[in-house]
Amino acid sequence: MADIRTESVMVIGLGRFGSALALELTSRGTEVLGVDTNRKLVQNLSGRLPHVVVADSTDIEALRQLGIAEFRRAVVAIGTDIQASILTASLLSELEVPDIWAKAINRQHGRILSRVGAHHVVLPEHDMGERVAHLLSGRMLDYI
């Protein structure tokens, strides 16, 4: 496993969620390869993300050319295009990426992502709603 870029993360889909994730990881010193089909988005991010490329993650050859075999961790941060999200997660699984994270837009999407091989599924809006509820109830306790 010596060649595997254990600390590097491939972030696929650089919308609000994926770009925030990629920028935060970068600021914490993690090497990130950001991938998106949207050329303009990639150009805009290139000043802040050292490694960002235009590629279609539903194309297995494109993933191979990006060196996916060397990554231990990848995040599928595509949401609205459910077909691209599921296909990407299944290709990452087929390519035996050891740690696959995926963003789901609802529970059904999340279940399918798990079935096709995602190891961790996050539902940002649902998870953040729960977190805010915890924060609010914690604050309410302060006033009791």
Handedness of CA 54, 115, 75, 72 (dihedral sign): negative
Of 35, 31, 2, 3, which Cα lies nearest the Cα of 19? Answer: 35
Of the pair 131, 136, the CB lying nearest ligand ATP is at 131
What's the distance, CA 30 to chain centroid?
14
Selected from 11, 12, 22, 116, the binder of ligand ATP by CB under 6 A is 12
Residue 90 contacts ligand ATP per CB under 6 A: no
Of the pair 17, 101, the CB lying nearest ligand ATP is at 17
Of 118, 110, 109, which Cα lies nearest the Cα of 89? Answer: 118
Stretch that binds ligand ATP, among 25-33, 37-45, 115-123, 134-142 (CB under 6 A): 37-45
Residue 41 contacts ligand ATP per CB under 6 A: yes
Q: Which runs of E-coded beta strand occur in the chain?
A: 5-12, 32-36, 52-54, 71-76, 99-103, 120-122
Stretch that binds ligand ATP, among 31-39, 44-52, 65-73, 108-116 (CB under 6 A): 31-39
How far apart are CB 32 and ligand ATP at their closest, in Å? Answer: 14
Q: How many residues bind ligand ATP (CB under 6 A)?
A: 20
Where is 111: in which H helix or E strand? helix 107-115
> What does DSSP assign to residue 68?
G
Stretch that binds ligand ATP, among 3-11, 16-24, 113-121, 126-134 (CB under 6 A): 16-24
Contact residues for ligand ATP (CB under 6 A)?
Answer: 12-18, 35-38, 41, 56-58, 78-81, 84
